[in-house]
């Protein structure tokens, strides 16, 4: 009889707690759904279950008080290099890449898009070595160069086969969300044109890192003639490819490209974001479409630091917080055609970021070591990936230690 009563009580409690996790008291910013208000977010079965005011805490098994914080969709970084572990020295398909999980959740990022570190020849190795083992969702832009950013030359036209690229994107449609070309050094347009052919065949975007400045391949021609609507120009504030003209103004080709539907990505990196270009762009109301890091060993400890550091840079340049969130969630999801990501619609996968905004005196450094002073900064307080708390800076979702250890010693299965 007692056993039966206990079972009934447990069943009653489970029924009264339909949510696995409740983020309570925060300000929800969800650009896709035009939400910017104090709301609670309830999660059940790895999905967003409900977004509403004043959801009772008694309805959730786990409650996190996020009062005074900002609750957003999980951040999406569409330009990283995470093909680590190959043992290859001196290249991004090796020692210059980083493993994703060490840099994602603690900065609010739940989805990373590797930007061409692997090509069609070595993508299967990248998949089994990194993608399949990561807790972070890792997607990829496939390099048109067969070996990606490895020892083989990204400037060798013979390595840029269109058909093998198409075949690899067809083989892994859930993982490969676009094509990438980078660092091409010759006078011709082979890398861009072959990348476009692969992208066109699969109806996916091409991201272009234009490499060094080549007068015979001007930025104007790339943005006004070559790229299609939805294609992505990354490192847009590098200042290395005539983004800024001699008179100090922004290259009009940037605005022309935008009118044609070309997307502009930050791709901060170790050498591709300078205040002189970015601040002039803000002055001319040219805000990029997507914020991204260009994460690798050469950028992680320099001016770039992480995703939220770059977000804070734009916040301090006068971009409204809601727009900064849009540039880091819903717009990148759209740009890679993964619209199931980047929002908090009930039924969507439960990837959520909780941010704290502080006021004070802060310094932000660009890729050339120049400092810009700002008055606001962002910190990732909590990250939820697939319904599970994977980063909790201040233990907001954790039970108080006295309650946690009310029964001591703990059951054997909990001991380490």
Residue found under tokens 């929002």:
343
Question: Kind and range of the H or E element at 316?
Answer: helix 307-316
Residue 180 has pLDDT above 50, yes or no: yes
Query: What tens digit of pLDDT does each residue of 339-385 get?
Result: 999 999 999 999 999 999 999 999 999 999 999 999 999 999 999 99
Bigger pLDDT: 199 or 185? 199
Token pair of 323 as six digits? 């727009």
388 assigned to some structural domain? no
* pLDDT of 5 over the 70 cut: no
Residue 52 covered by a domain: no
Per-residue model confidence as pLDDT tens digits over 19-52:
999 999 999 999 999 999 999 999 999 999 999 9
- pLDDT at site 15: 55
pLDDT of res. 414: 53
CATH number at residue 313: 3.20.20.140
Looking at the predicted structure, is the pLDDT value of residue 192 above 60?
yes
Greatest C-alpha distance within the chain? 87
Give the alpha-carbon dihedral of 270, 213, 144, 177, to 10 degrees.
60
Residue 195's pLDDT band, with cuts at 50, 70 and 90, is very high
pLDDT at residue 9, rounded to an integer:
44
Report how many domains make up the chain. Answer: 1
Q: Give domain status of residue 393, yes or no.
A: no
Confidence label for 412 from pLDDT (cuts 50, 70 and 90): confident
Q: Identify whether 179 is part of a domain.
A: yes
For the chain, helix (H) and strand (E) counts, in that order, are 11, 17
Q: What is the pLDDT of residue 8?
A: 45
Q: Percent of the chain at pLDDT above 70?
A: 95
Model confidence over 287-329: pLDDT tens digits? 999 999 999 999 999 999 999 999 999 999 999 999 999 999 9
Residue 105 to residue 351: CA distance in whole angstroms: 11
Whether 65 maps to a domain, the answer reads no
Would the pLDDT of 10 be above 50? no
**Mean pLDDT of the residues in the chain:** 94
pLDDT band at 212 (very low <50, low <70, confident <90, very high): confident
Q: Are 260 and 224 a contacting pair, CB within 8 Å?
A: yes
Query: Is residue 221 included in any domain, yes or no?
Result: yes
Let me know if residue 5 belongs to a domain: no
- Residue 17: the pLDDT is 87
Closest CA to 70 of 345, 414, 355: 355
> What range defines the domain where residue 201 resides?
74-346
Task: Flag whether 18 is in a domain.
Answer: no
Q: Predicted confidence band at 226 (pLDDT cuts at 50, 70, 90)?
A: very high
Q: Residue 1: what pLDDT?
A: 44
């Amino acid at each position: 009889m007692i056993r039966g009563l206990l079972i009934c009580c447990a069943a009653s409690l489970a029924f009264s707690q339909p949510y696995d996790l409740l983020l309570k008291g925060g300000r929800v910013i969800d650009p896709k759904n035009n939400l910017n208000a104090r709301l609670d977010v309830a999660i059940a079965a790895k999905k967003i279950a409900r977004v509403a005011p004043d959801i009772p805490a008694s309805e959730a098994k786990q409650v996190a008080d996020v009062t005074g914080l900002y609750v957003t969709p999980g951040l999406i970084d569409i330009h990283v290099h995470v093909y680590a572990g190959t043992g290859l020295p001196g290249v991004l398909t090796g020692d210059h890449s980083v493993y994703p999980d060490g840099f994602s959740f603690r900065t609010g990022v739940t989805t990373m898009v590797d930007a061409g570190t692997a090509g069609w020849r070595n993508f299967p190795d990248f998949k089994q070595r990194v993608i399949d083992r990561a807790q972070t969702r890792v997607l990829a832009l496939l390099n048109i160069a067969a070996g990606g950013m490895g020892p083989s030359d990204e400037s060798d036209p013979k390595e840029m086969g269109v058909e093998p690229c198409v075949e690899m994107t067809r083989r892994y449609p859930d993982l490969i969300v676009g094509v990438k070309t980078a660092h091409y050094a010759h006078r011709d347009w082979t890398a861009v044109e072959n990348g476009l052919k692969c992208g066109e065949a699969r109806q996916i975007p091409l991201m272009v890192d234009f490499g060094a400045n080549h007068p015979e391949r001007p930025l104007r021609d790339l943005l006004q003639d070559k790229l299609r609507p939805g294609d992505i120009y990354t490192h847009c504030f590098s200042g290395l490819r005539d983004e800024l003209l001699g008179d100090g103004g922004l290259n009009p080709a940037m605005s022309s490209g935008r009118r044609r539907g070309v997307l502009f990505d930050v791709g901060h990196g170790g050498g591709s974001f300078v205040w002189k270009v970015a601040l002039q762009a803000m002055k001319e109301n040219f805000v990029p479409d997507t914020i991204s890091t260009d994460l690798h060993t050469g950028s992680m400890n320099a001016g770039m630091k992480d995703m939220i550091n770059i977000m804070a840079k734009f916040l301090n340049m006068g971009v409204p917080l809601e727009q900064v969130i849009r540039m880091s969630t819903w717009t990148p999801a759209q740009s890679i055609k993964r619209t199931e990501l980047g929002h908090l619609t009930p039924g969507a996968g439960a990837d959520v970021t909780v941010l704290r905004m502080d006021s004070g005196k802060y310094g932000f450094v660009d890729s050339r070591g120049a400092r810009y002073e700002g008055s606001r900064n962002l910190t990732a307080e909590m990250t939820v990936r697939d319904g599970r708390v994977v980063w909790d800076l201040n233990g907001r979702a954790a039970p108080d230690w006295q309650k946690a250890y009310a029964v001591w010693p703990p059951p054997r299965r909990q001991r380490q």
